[in-house]
Structure 1
Amino acid sequence: MSGLAPHRLSLNTATVREQWNLAEAIEGCARHGIGGICPWRDKLHEMGVEAAARAIRDAGLGVSGLCRGGWFTQTGAVDDAVIDDNRRAVDEAATLGADCLVMVVGGLPEGSRDLPTAWALVEDGLAATLEYARKVGVKIAIEPLHPMYAADRACVNTMRQALDICDRLGPGIGCAVDVYHVWWDPELEEQLARAGKERILAFHLCDWLVPTRDQLTDRGMMGDGVIDIPRIRGLVEANGFEGLNEVEIFSALNWWRRDPDEVLATVVERGRTVC
């Protein structure tokens, strides 16, 4: 499999979140020939949604997604404030022309050990958000996270779980496939085939380091870890995905400490040679 040209990559702004604001990230993507961007909402709000949308269009960038909606379980109920925030996120994704709104659904409510209740809260919250998103024309992407995050970040941890929810909720919802979270799954090939073109809504790249020194903020640059990225990319593309390949690296100990132009230059080089 040939590598990825820069125009087939997208920069998730988490990769340079400590160095650049959103305006700087947009300009950096254009300067390095990267084809798209995925803003996080905190950076988006700093710049302003309309201003960011104009700048992204003017730079000729695609928007592979918006991070993030979700967090349906935090209070132990899907309350109006959570749904209102997710609807705002849907509106922001629509303004940006994003391919999808990525959902980090939430883990156990504080003090709880009740996973079934957390799962029910997630599905209720997704259903309410999806009802609105369909009217606006925004696709919702559940991002199953690695099981180590089940308690505090996302109690949906496999493609099978995510697709079961999609089956029950119907059109307009699919998955964000992040190699960091799914590379270990023995059912991955089967579940990607089950997802198909209509439900693989985003594809995220990074690498799993051995050892991993922090479970949240020690992801690797592609090629520095143990994930067979070309294999997973091949499976995703074989099942119809044609979108941008989004690089999302949380790296407090390494890449967040480097010059951001060096980071983007490395992303481009690894895209060509590793992915």
Structure 2
Amino acid sequence: MTRFSLNQATTKRWPLDELVAGCVAAGVPAVGLWREEVAEYGLDKAATLVRDAGLTVSSLCRSGFFHEPDWYDNNRRAIDEAAALGTDTLVLVSGGLPGKSRDIDGARRHVSDAIGALVPDAQAAGVRLAIEALHPMFASDRCVVSTLGQALQIAAPHPADAVGVVIDTYHLWWDDQVWHQIEQAGEQGRIAAFQLADWITPLPEGVLLGRGLPGTGCVDLRRFATAVGEAGYQGWVEVEVFHEDVWSRPGAEVLAEAFAGYRKYAE
């Protein structure tokens, strides 16, 4: 389990204290946390809980959403939260088009400018901004950054230890350019996080909740893991799944299946 991390989203209805206890009992070394759940539990209390349990926080999800009017203040808070939790990786989801805009190029330029504005704050806190590209079907409302190539372009002006990228199999599996882009990301030292999830067909009515545990869908997860490893990434592998059926199951059971999928496809 040396590189396995359970992302909190996978067991969304498992209370944080029970999740931490379950991870300790199973020998899991790391967890990926979410801002909303941490805030509900209490930031300082959550930091103490995880630290006392001996767990590493592999990442904090998520910030970004640069189309919102308060994007700067919200992201500054997120950087401080990541530092308080002891993680050096803050996942950024860029946000969609503002208002009724149709200017996706302008939205991407704004994302680039906004991340540039945050870099000094992130560097001062010892937190790396990790840009996550989402599947193009989320471009209008959630993420105008749709490919790993676009994420790398936004990261390029900044030091690699300040701005990196997230490789999420669910969002990137469809792109035939992703293999070359993973190579590029490795050469540039940009891979900040690797997240494992499958694509289920047919998608459920709530498309956002269409992720499956590793091995339950159509993504060539082993190819991704091999490509990321050959690119030089040796960091945490988070299993991050959004699905009502998964959330309805006991947390320990889901954790065991998530780890089994990690071992089969990414270890």
TM-score by length of structure 1 reads: 0.92
1:186 corresponds to which residue? Answer: 176
Q: After the TM superposition, which parts of structure 1 deviate over 4 Å for at least 4 consecutive aligned residues?
A: none
1:56 positional shift = 1.2
Give the letter for the 1:239 counterpart: A
Contact 1:35–1:244 (Cα < 8 Å) also in 2: no
1:25 corresponds to which residue? Answer: 19
1:110 positional shift = 2.2
1:168 positional shift = 2.4
1:11-54 per-residue CA deviation (whole Å, 9 max, x = no partner) reads 1111111x222222212211222221111001111222222122
1:16 lines up with 2:11 in the alignment:
yes
Query: How many Å separate the matches in 2 of 1:217 and 1:177?
Result: 18
SS in structure 2 opposite 1:227?
Answer: coil
Contact 1:94–1:137 (Cα < 8 Å) also in 2: yes
Query: How many Å separate the matches in 1 of 2:258 and 2:25?
Result: 13
Where structure 1 has 5 or more consecutive residues not aligned to the other structure, the ranges are 1-5, 76-80
The match for 1:250 among 242, 251, 255 is: 242
RMSD: 1.4
1:47 lines up with 2:41 in the alignment:
yes
TM-score by length of structure 2 reads: 0.94
Where structure 2 has 5 or more consecutive residues not aligned to the other structure, the ranges are none
The match for 1:164 among 130, 153, 173 is: 153
1:273 positional shift = 2.6
Query: How many Å separate the matches in 1 of 2:102 and 2:172?
Result: 24
1:268 positional shift = 1.8
1:221 positional shift = 0.8
Contact 2:88–2:126 (Cα < 8 Å) also in 1: no
Query: How many Å separate the matches in 2 of 1:221 and 1:105?
Result: 25
Query: How many Å separate the matches in 2 of 1:226 and 1:25?
Result: 28
1:75-106 per-residue CA deviation (whole Å, 9 max, x = no partner) reads 4xxxxx32111011101111112131000110
1:267 lines up with 2:258 in the alignment:
yes
1:82 corresponds to which residue? Answer: 71
Q: Which has the higher contact order (CA 8 A, sep 6+)?
A: 1
Higher strand share: 2
1:125 corresponds to which residue? Answer: 114
1:3 corresponds to which residue? Answer: none
1:62 corresponds to which residue? Answer: 56
Query: How many Å separate the matches in 1 of 2:259 and 2:62?
Result: 24
